[in-house]
Amino acid sequence: MTVKPKADVSVIVPNFNNGMYLNDFLQSILHSTFEPCELIIVDDGSTDNSVNILESFAWVEYLKVIRFEKNRGLTAALNAALENSHGKYIMRADPDDMLMPGKIETQTQFMEANPEVDVLGCNVIYFDGKTGKNINISNFPLSSSKIFDTYFRGEHGIQHPTAFVKGEVYRKYRYQEIFPGEDYEIFARMVKDGCRFANLAQPLYRMRVHPGSSTSNLKISFIGNTFKFRDRIFGTKTSKVKILFYYLHILFYRKFQNSSNIILKYFFLTLSAVFYPQKLLKRISTPVKNMLLSCQNFITGSRRP
């Protein structure tokens, strides 16, 4: 049996009634090119078969399960995982998603080579929970300055379950009890305090889109919470119109992701762009810029003697 390199990484995972996805998630950890030193799963009072699934993986030496007898909420589960973590780095993940095999290795190596970075994310592949087919790939900003600008606008600069954070930094911050918006709140505080962020362009994480996922259960109050956090942390003032338009943008984008009808998909994408055209322009312009840069590099290289 091949011994895999072990990374000084604690993976923290909150779980509530995700038994039907747990096996896929755990297998993705087991098939990683690097092993974590800890996989801490906090079961938040699940009433499905989650506990039985976790017990069937008791042979995994680095798996640590913390059980809440009653449901205490996402932020309580995350804080419990943070408090029980010991790794140099802490990596977030959700139990209804899957890691790409090289995620732990790639993010560990990046952080070791770039010690000035405190928080590292990556792009994700969104996939259909029913068919397993890929839907689309995210397009998060890569540099610390652009990630700061994104949080300042009240948007997400990294995808929460891709976060790979210095342990000393993550443990210093606690998740607030208010949910949802807890991910924006904790990272916006880190940004405001001067923590350096980065995203890897590679999609190293597969994010499942299904009826029970947070991506499929959007309410305007969720968006409102995020902008309340933004105004409190950055001293801004967000209008109700901006909140409404951003909600509609996200709502129709989620409908684009969830629809299997090709005509409806692009109808929803168009509506999403109507309420936030800058996002669509950014998504279109980024691959175009990359293509032009590649062409420029090819032409420059071909001219060299």
Q: Say which CATH number the domain at 35 has.
A: 3.90.550.10
Residue 27: is its pLDDT beyond 80?
Answer: yes
What's the alpha-carbon Rg for the chain, to the nearest Å? 20
Q: How far is CA 49 from the centre of its chain?
A: 25
Instruction: Give, in degrees to the nearest 5, the angle at Cα 34 between 32 and 35.
Output: 85
The CB density around residue 288, as the number of other CB atoms within 10 Å, is 9
Per-residue model confidence as pLDDT tens digits over 86-137: 999 999 999 999 999 999 999 999 999 999 999 999 999 999 888 888 988 9
Distance in angstroms (rounded) separating the CA atoms of residues 35 and 25: 14
Q: Does the bond joining 95 to the residue before it have cis omega, within 30 degrees of 0?
A: no
Q: What is the pLDDT of residue 291?
A: 43
Distance in angstroms (rounded) separating the CA atoms of residues 115 and 76: 29
Query: Token pair of 168, please?
Result: 């000393």
Query: Token pair of 88, please?
Result: 């140099």
**pLDDT band per the 50, 70, 90 thresholds, residue 181:** confident
pTM, entire model: 0.86
Residue 130 counted as domain residue: yes
Residue 1 counted as domain residue: no
Per-residue model confidence as pLDDT tens digits over 228-270: 999 999 999 999 999 999 999 988 888 888 787 889 988 988 8
Distances 9 to 20, 109, 256 between C-alpha atoms, Å: 26, 12, 35
Distance in angstroms (rounded) separating the CA atoms of residues 153 and 34: 36
Q: What is the pLDDT of residue 196?
A: 98
Does residue 253 share a domain with residue 114?
no
Does residue 247 share a domain with residue 109?
no
Distance in angstroms (rounded) separating the CA atoms of residues 37 and 268: 43
Does residue 104 share a domain with residue 141?
yes
Residue 294: is its pLDDT beyond 90?
Answer: no
Does residue 253 share a domain with residue 164?
no
**pLDDT band per the 50, 70, 90 thresholds, residue 283:** low
Does residue 216 share a domain with residue 293?
no
Range of the domain at 101: 6-237
Number of structural domains (the chain) is 2
Residue 6: is its pLDDT beyond 90?
Answer: yes
Instruction: Give, in degrees to the nearest 5, the angle at Cα 132 between 183 and 71.
Output: 40
Per-residue model confidence as pLDDT tens digits over 190-238: 999 999 999 999 999 999 987 766 555 678 888 998 999 999 999 999 9
Residue 189 counted as domain residue: yes
Does residue 223 share a domain with residue 76?
yes
